[in-house]
């Protein structure tokens, strides 16, 4: 690696430089960007080989693969940025099958003129999130589009994981009588991004809950291997996640509004903007559906993990051929929790 660095006339100006078209052209400029920025941050044996692919050792069993593109605006927001979000989002998609994530791949679409200092900040955030999750970024790709034809940075990540023996988690396994559990309070990610975008400030700032959930999931499947469904309520929030499960399983859901945690700053901002927290995106929470007799055990396991301390039982699965999700309100009435119609908050992940 040292001999290649000597081939460059000068080092990248990561403090004042910008992305140039040549950084995606496949030549010396792209090699320098990869070596001095991406390799320096993601450093591992697979990337050091500098091949167009990664040769991976995987255990026998059932593999999971998930991919997710991230176009959040703004790129930096309280509690996170597009870098850590691109790692957490894909790790969580893998984890919702009960799987242990093993490897990540990352693809970047960069806009000409984007400051290298901001790109360095994003890449270092990704590297930190991957290291904390103990899941290496083993391969990737970089493309550059002309000025005005992108929006700074878009990132696509792909994750591979393996499902432990005896675990069978799918959105088609909810059964009448099952318990519905939620790992924590709703709406923090979506409201943090929106507040930053609209330059709204509060006495108690709202921070994104962006986090990798596979550690929490591992704790949960160890305590209750027969978890029926897991889902992270991202775009469309809790309402869409439950409606998806209800449709796939051919069941209904009955929720209790009083049991669903929403922090006061999030509730206040939602009321101010006329939004329902049930439809706001989260990036560090999960739904779990399990047999009713295992609910107390699973709840205790979730509360013992730092990311599940606020876990609560929010309702149950019911027999309903129409697949309705209903909620008992704090006033004792009932209302339908329907699918999100259209896009409530665009570009929040």
The tens digit of pLDDT for each residue in 79-100 reads 999 999 999 999 999 999 999 9
Q: What is the pLDDT of residue 77?
A: 96
- In our burial notation (b when 16+ CB lie closer than 10 A, e otherwise), range 186-204 reads bbbbbbbbbbbbeeeeeee
Name every residue whose Cβ is closer than 8 Å to that of residue 257 and which is 6 or more positions away in sequence.
Answer: 327, 328, 329, 330
Which one is predicted more confidently, 7 or 115? 115
Q: What is the dihedral of CA 236, 242, 244, 248, to 10 degrees?
A: 170
pLDDT tens, position by position, 157-187: 999 999 999 999 999 999 999 999 999 999 9
Alpha-carbon distance of 200 to 56, in angstroms, equals 46
User: Hunting for tokens 């988690």 — which residue is that?
Assistant: 169
Q: What is the pLDDT of residue 2?
A: 45
pLDDT tens, position by position, 202-222: 767 899 999 999 999 999 999
Region 311-322: mean pLDDT is: 97
DSSP letter at 37 equals: I
Region 59-87: mean pLDDT is: 96
**Cis-peptide, bond into residue 298, ω within 30° of zero:** no
Q: Give the SS3 label for residue 349.
A: coil
Cα-trace Rg, the chain? 22
Whether 69 has a pLDDT exceeding 50, the answer reads yes
Region 7-34: mean pLDDT is: 93
Q: What is the pLDDT of residue 3?
A: 46
State the DSSP string of 81-127. Answer: EHHHHHHHHHHHHHHTTT-EEEEEEEEEEEETT-BHHHHHHHHHHHH
| pTM for this model (two decimals) | 0.95
pLDDT tens, position by position, 39-50: 999 999 999 998
Q: What is the pLDDT of residue 128?
A: 98
Name every residue whose Cβ is closer than 8 Å to that of residue 315 and which is 6 or more positions away in sequence.
Answer: 179, 180, 253, 254, 255, 256, 259, 327
Confidence band for 199, pLDDT divided at 50, 70 and 90: confident
Least confident window among 57-61, 101-105, 327-331: 57-61
Alpha-carbon distance of 204 to 144, in angstroms, equals 39
Alpha-carbon distance of 261 to 143, in angstroms, equals 42
Confidence band for 6, pLDDT divided at 50, 70 and 90: low
Whether 1 has a pLDDT exceeding 50, the answer reads no
Among candidate residues 242, 241, 259, 260, the one with its CA nearest the CA of residue 251:
242
DSSP letter at 40 equals: H
């Amino acid at each position: 690696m040292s001999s290649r660095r000597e081939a460059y006339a000068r080092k990248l100006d990561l403090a004042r430089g910008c992305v140039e078209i040549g950084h995606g052209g496949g030549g010396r400029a792209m090699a320098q960007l990869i070596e001095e920025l991406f390799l320096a941050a993601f450093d591992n044996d697979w990337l050091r080989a500098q091949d167009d692919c990664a040769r991976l050792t995987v255990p026998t069993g059932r593999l999971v693969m998930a991919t997710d593109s991230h176009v959040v605006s703004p790129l930096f927001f309280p509690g996170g940025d597009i870098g850590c979000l691109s790692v957490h989002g894909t790790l969580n998609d893998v984890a919702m099958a009960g799987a242990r994530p093993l490897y990540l791949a990352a693809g970047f679409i960069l806009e000409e003129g984007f400051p290298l200092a901001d790109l360095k900040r994003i890449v270092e955030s990704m590297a930190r999130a991957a290291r904390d999750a103990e899941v290496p970024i083993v391969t990737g790709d970089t493309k550059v589009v002309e000025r005005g034809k992108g929006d700074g940075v878009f990132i696509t990540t792909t994750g591979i994981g393996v499902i432990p023996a005896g675990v069978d988690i799918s959105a088609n396994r909810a059964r009448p009588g099952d318990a519905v559990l939620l790992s924590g309070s709703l709406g923090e990610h979506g409201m943090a991004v929106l507040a930053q975008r609209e330059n709204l400030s509060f006495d108690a700032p709202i921070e994104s809950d962006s986090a990798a959930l596979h550690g929490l999931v591992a704790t949960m499947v160890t305590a209750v291997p027969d978890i029926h469904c897991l889902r992270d309520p991202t775009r469309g929030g809790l309402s869409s996640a439950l409606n998806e499960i209800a449709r796939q399983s051919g069941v209904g859901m009955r929720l209790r509004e009083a049991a669903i945690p929403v922090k006061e700053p999030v509730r206040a901002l939602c009321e101010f903007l006329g939004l329902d927290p049930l439809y706001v995106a989260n990036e560090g929470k999960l739904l779990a559906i399990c047999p009713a007799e295992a609910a107390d055990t699973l709840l205790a396991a979730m509360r013992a993990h730092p990311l599940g301390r606020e876990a609560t039982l929010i309702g149950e699965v019911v027999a309903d051929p129409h697949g309705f999700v209903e909620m008992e309100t704090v006033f004792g009435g009932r209302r339908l929790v329907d699918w999100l119609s259209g896009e409530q908050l665009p570009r929040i992940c």
